[in-house]
Amino acid sequence: MMPYSLLLPTSVIAGFVGAMSGMGGGVVIIPALTFFGLPIKKAIAISIVSVIATSSGSASAYVRDHLTNLKVGMFLEMFTIAGALLGAGITVGANQQALFILFGLILLGSWGTLFLRRHEEWTPAPRQDGFSHWLELQGSYPDKALGKTIDYRAERAYLGAPLMFGAGLVAGLLGIGAGALKVLIHDLVMGLPPKVSTTTSNLIIGVTALAGTSVYLAHGLIDPGLAAPVILGVLLGSFLGTRLLVRLHNQTVRHFFLVVLAVLGLEMLIRGLRGL
Amino acid sequence: MEIFVGYVLLCGTLLSAALLIAGLLWRWRVAELPELHYAIAGTNLFQFLISNLHQIRQATFHPQFLVNLGIAVLLMTPYLRVLTSMIYFAFVERNAKYTVFTGFVFAVLTYSLFLR
């Protein structure tokens, strides 16, 4: 079993990575815990609890910094949470290995797309479709790196919504990964600036993770002795992460996400191929 | 709105952290290390919360109690955040659309928390 002296710093790193990338930190926590022999289901349970910690911890800062777009988050969350519950429900009959491989390929494919565009600076959408406008998905945020307020308009909500349902489905089936897909959808499909994509994802993954936690709580898979130090480490790490992200340029945030995305994609692929 | 939601999240996480730290420090005083090894029996969040609060009435205290409470508070934080957002959209911004959207999420979330 993983010594506590390693558990705490690992969790801090997970929280930091999570807060900076819009994901939950499971990309760090799950391999660390399973490496030290924890059964995968318990590792996922701890990871999901840590996602709630990352989410609440970082969102508490990002929301007050006016980076998160609450409306985009809540609108898309309807679809994500429905997908997540459905995914968790049908997980019994699903072929997990194939799903991990497929998910890994999707993530790496998305990584490729984003990687090819990595030198493109984010620019505001020239116009917004009627549906997104009706949904009031426009906003602005103070950018500390640029020293001014940036206006933006989210678009293609009609596409973002069903894709978010898919993202939720995958997260429910695999117990991980909603954050990565959310950031990708926010960024590539809906045209949100990277800082808003990441911080909005951070807010929402907590809700999705909470829906998933119930299953693990019901099966008695959450080990509080492990969860306690992990939560504390993750909260500290995510707090540190938020202080850094607000000072970075959008491009840097996107590049960081690219790195974590690649790692996650490879992890998923390896898990599928190894049969975990 | 954002400030208020932000503070709900902040208070939830700080309270959770305080409870966890207190629980672990207590354990450290009683045992050699601040480590706990026990399990939570299969339950749902509301039952978990209520059984912990019962312990206050019975005054049977262990470090586990504080740790359990810390975890329960952490889990309740996003739930309360959604509820707060819904109330805000309904009564402050008077935004029917988003009250419905947030209400939907709140309903589904509540349903998921009652599952066993």
* pLDDT reading at B82 higher than 60: yes
- The reported pTM is 0.88
B5, B8, B9, B80: best to mutate for the A interface, most A CBs within 10 A: B9
Rounded to the nearest angstrom, the minimum Cα separation between B8 and chain A is: 8
CB contact under 8 A, B13 and A60: yes
Interface test with chain B among A52, A200, A204, A242, by most B beta carbons within 10 Å:
A52
Which among A228, A157, A268 is positioned nearest to B97, based on CA atoms?
A157
Residues of A in contact with B85 (CB under 8 A): 70, 74
The residue length of chain A stands at 276
Whole-Å CA distances, A124 to A139, A193, A199, A253:
11, 8, 18, 17
**Beta-carbon pairs below 8 A across chains A and B:** 157
Q: Are A51 and A209 in contact (CB under 8 A)?
A: yes
Q: Which of B3, B34, B45 sits opposite A64 (nearest CB)?
A: B3
In this structure, which amino acid lies at residue B44? N
pLDDT of residue A101: 86
Please give chain A's pLDDT, 276 residues, in tens: 667 778 889 999 999 999 998 888 888 888 888 888 888 888 888 888 999 999 999 999 998 888 999 999 999 999 999 988 888 777 655 677 887 888 888 888 888 888 888 777 787 777 788 888 888 888 888 888 888 888 888 888 889 899 999 888 888 877 777 788 889 888 888 889 999 999 999 999 999 888 878 777 777 788 888 899 999 999 999 999 999 998 898 888 888 898 998 998 898 888 888 875
At residue B74, the pLDDT reads 93
How far apart (Å, rounded) are the C-alpha atoms in residues B75 and A64? 21
Residue A91 identity: T
Give contacts of A209 with chain B, Cβ < 8 Å.
78
**Tokens 């194939």 — which residue?**
A98
CA distance A14 to A33: 12
From A132's Cα to the closest Cα of chain B, the distance in A is 13
Residues B7, A194: Cα–Cα separation, whole Å: 24
A63, closest residue in chain B (CA to CA): B6
How is chain B split into domains, by residue range? 2-114
Q: Which amino acid is at A125?
A: A
pLDDT at B107: 94
The distance of A84 to chain B (nearest Cα, Å) reads 10
Q: What is the pLDDT of residues B29-67, one digit of tens each?
A: 877 777 777 777 667 777 777 777 777 666 667 777 888
> Per-residue DSSP letters for B2-62?
HHHHHHHHHHHHHHHHHHHHHHHHHHHHHSSSS-----PPS--HHHHHHHHHHHHHHT---
pLDDT value of position A92: 58
3-class DSSP assignment, residue B85:
helix
Nearest by CB: A228 against B45, B70, B82 = B70
φ/ψ of A151, rounded to 5, equals -95, 145
Write a three-state SS string for chain A: CCCHHHHHHHHHHHHHHHHHHCCCCHHHHHHHHHHCCCCHHHHHHHHHHHHHHHHHHHHHHHHHCCCCCHHHHHHHHHHHHHHHHHHHHHHHHCCHHHHHHHHHHHHHHHHHHHHHCCCCCCCCCCCCCHHHHHCCCEEEEEECCCCEEEEEECCCHHHHHHHHHHHHHHHHHHCCCHHHHHHHHHHHHCCCCHHHHHHHHHHHHHHHHHHHHHHHHHCCCCCHHHHHHHHHHHHHHHHHHHHHHCCCCHHHHHHHHHHHHHHHHHHHHHHHHHCC
Task: Report CA-CA distances (Å) from A214 to A5, A218, B1.
Answer: 29, 6, 28
Chain B positions in Cβ-Cβ contact with residue A231 (cut-off 8 Å)? 16-17, 20, 70-71, 74
Q: Which of B24, B36, B13 is nearest to A235 (CA)?
A: B13
Which residues in chain B are closer than 8 Å to A222, comparing Cβ atoms?
40, 71
Check: CB of residue A85 under 8 Å from CB of residue B112: yes
User: A135 contacts in B (CB within 8 Å)?
Assistant: 97
